[in-house]
Amino acid sequence: MIHLFIFLPLLAAALAALLPSLAAKRAVAVLGAALTLLLGVLIWAGGPLATTTLPWVPALGITYSVGLDGISTLLALVTALMTLLALLYAGWRVQNAGTLLALVLAMETGLIGIFAARDLILFYVFFEGTLLPALLMLAMYGGPRRSYALTKFAIYTIVGSLFMLLAIIGTRLASGAETFALEEILRRGVPAIAQPWLFLGFVAAFAVKLPIFPLHAWLPDFHEQNHPSGVPDVMGTLYKVGGYGLLRFALPLFPEAARDLQIPLMALAAFTAVYAAWIAFHQNHWKRVLAYAGLSHMGLVALGMFSLNAIATTGAMYLLAFQGIYTGVLFLAVGMLYARTGSLEVRRGGVMEDAPVLSGLTMTLWFATIGVPGLAGFIGEFSILLGAYQVSPWLSFLAGLSIIAAAAYALTAYQRTYWEERPQGAALLSDLSRLEWAILLPAVALTVLFGVYSAPALNLIEPGAQALGQLLGGRP
């Protein structure tokens, strides 16, 4: 079942690309994404899937090793859900969407593969496999400055990936393992003398994808120049897999280096959270606001991971998973705003008066991003700060300032677009259509549900977080 879960979207992408009509492409794409989500739900209901390892390139020691524990199942489920919502919106709201549908599905396979991979080279292949659809979506459906954004994105990601590839090769050689299978390398262990440089190689690669300061410069241009519908941005939000990479590979493989560099990395993460929130306050373009908001949240995720604390790690994974839902759908809500006003400028005004349902659901999602209790964002952010406080109270306090700043930039931007008076001569706006209801409502419902009843998600995350905490010698 796990192999079908990984590759069904890719099969649907290939079929959708070959079909001649947009209606057929839409049907195949949505059906493929829906079946993938159903498979994910069945896997979740059946419990973790043990690792399956088969030889792939024996001469080089590369294996096809895949498995799904609680954490990777949760992240894969979120990916499947958001892909389906993105395809529904793209299929009926984006002109000439045929290729876009195939690219979104291809990226889904890459993302689920990242969460399932238990071989370092296989992880690298899926990691790079998500790069091509992201670049093509930006190149084919991007804005007027997409070449600049594309070049910057490609340079950052390729250089980051090069660091990771070198670190992967060095890790196997240093451990003396015969394959790149994660289980074998963990069993053999990496000598302490080799850990710092190899650990920094992984951290550099994952810091680009999270991202964290100063490797974030590609992010605002990437989102601003992507298609205004927000569909590529949804996949871009899920693309922030650096936090998962830290948990699955960098921290368990190099525990001594992680402990030695704990405080400097926590400081960098806390600074990222506050810096990004401050920059977000000065943005006048909705996608740039969301980009810097996402950067600030990824700073919190990194803080949770580098804390080497089970509570903070649990919070980081919780935030990473549900930020993919409410921030991803906020990008689609921004696309709905653009479809009505033809602009993504923050200083618009009057939307609440004409489209109260769109405005209300959007406000709920923004409340989730700023950590309002009762919504999913609060659980992750509070757990991160609580766990980080046990390691460094001052760095936890510094990162906590980003949550206060988030309330300032989010509510200020929201007021300017939704609450202020409608511009003179502006046309009346329509409220949500049935399709838009079907996209926004599930995301809002899940954001509320997992804000008041977090046990199902925490039960998936906590075993892995506690095991990592014990391995690293952190506090429970």
Q: Which residues of 424-434 are buried (b: 16+ CB within 10 A; e: fewer)?
A: eeeeebeebee
β-strand pairing of 62-68 with 49-57: antiparallel
CA distance 198 to 188: 16
Q: Global pTM?
A: 0.94
- Distance (Å, whole) CA 419 – CA 429: 14
For the chain, what's the residue count?
476
pLDDT in tens, the chain (476 residues): 889 999 999 999 999 999 989 999 999 999 999 999 999 999 999 888 888 899 999 999 999 999 999 999 999 999 999 999 999 999 998 888 889 999 999 999 999 999 999 999 999 999 888 889 999 999 999 988 999 999 998 899 888 889 999 999 999 999 999 999 999 999 999 999 999 999 999 999 888 888 888 888 888 899 899 999 989 888 777 667 888 999 999 999 999 999 999 999 999 999 999 999 999 998 999 999 999 999 999 999 999 999 999 999 999 999 999 999 999 999 999 999 999 988 888 887 888 888 999 999 999 999 999 989 999 999 999 999 999 999 999 999 999 999 999 999 999 999 999 988 887 777 778 889 999 999 999 999 999 999 999 999 999 999 888 888 777 765 44
- The candidate with the shortest Cα–Cα distance to 74, out of 32, 34, 116, 104, is 116
Q: What is the pLDDT of residue 235?
A: 78
- H-helix or E-strand containing 16? helix 2-18
Alpha-helix runs per DSSP H in 67-179: 70-93, 98-116, 120-129, 131-141, 146-175
Residue in the block written with tokens 């979120």: 78
Residue 210: what pLDDT? 82
Residue with token string 């899940």: 446
CB 134 within 8 A of CB 113: no
- Tokens 């309002």 correspond to 372
What tokens appear for 364 in the block? Answer: 């709920």
> CA dist 65 to 142, 145, 251, Å?
36, 40, 19
CB 2 within 8 A of CB 68: yes
Cβ-Cβ contacts under 8 Å for 336 (sequence gap 6 or more): 358, 432, 436
376, 369 Cβ separation under 8 angstroms: no
Residue 254 contacts by C-beta under 8 Å, 6 or more apart in sequence?
Answer: 190, 195, 196, 198, 199, 202
Q: What is the pLDDT of residue 319?
A: 94
Question: Using omega within 30 degrees of 0 as the cis cutoff, is the peptide bond preceding 144 cis?
Answer: no
Query: Considering only CA atoms, which of 82, 146, 43, 196 is closest in space to residue 439?
Result: 82
Determine the 3-state secondary structure of 399 from DSSP.
helix
Sign of CA dihedral 427, 433, 438, 441: positive
Number of domains in the chain: 1
pLDDT of residue 63: 95
User: Strand, helix or coil at 53?
Assistant: strand
Full residue range of the structural domain in which residue 302 is found: 1-472
DSSP state letter for 466: H
> Residue 163: what residue type?
F
d(CA 264, CA 109): 35
Q: What is the pLDDT of residue 476?
A: 46
- 24 contacts 36 by C-beta, under 8 angstroms: no
Q: How far apart are CA 264 and CA 307, in angstroms?
A: 11
pLDDT of amino acid 239: 65
Query: Residue 139 carries which side chain, given as an amino acid letter?
Result: A
Q: Which two tokens stand for residue 320?
A: 């990473």
CA distance 444 to 431: 17
Cβ–Cβ < 8 Å for 164, 201: yes
80 contacts 113 by C-beta, under 8 angstroms: no
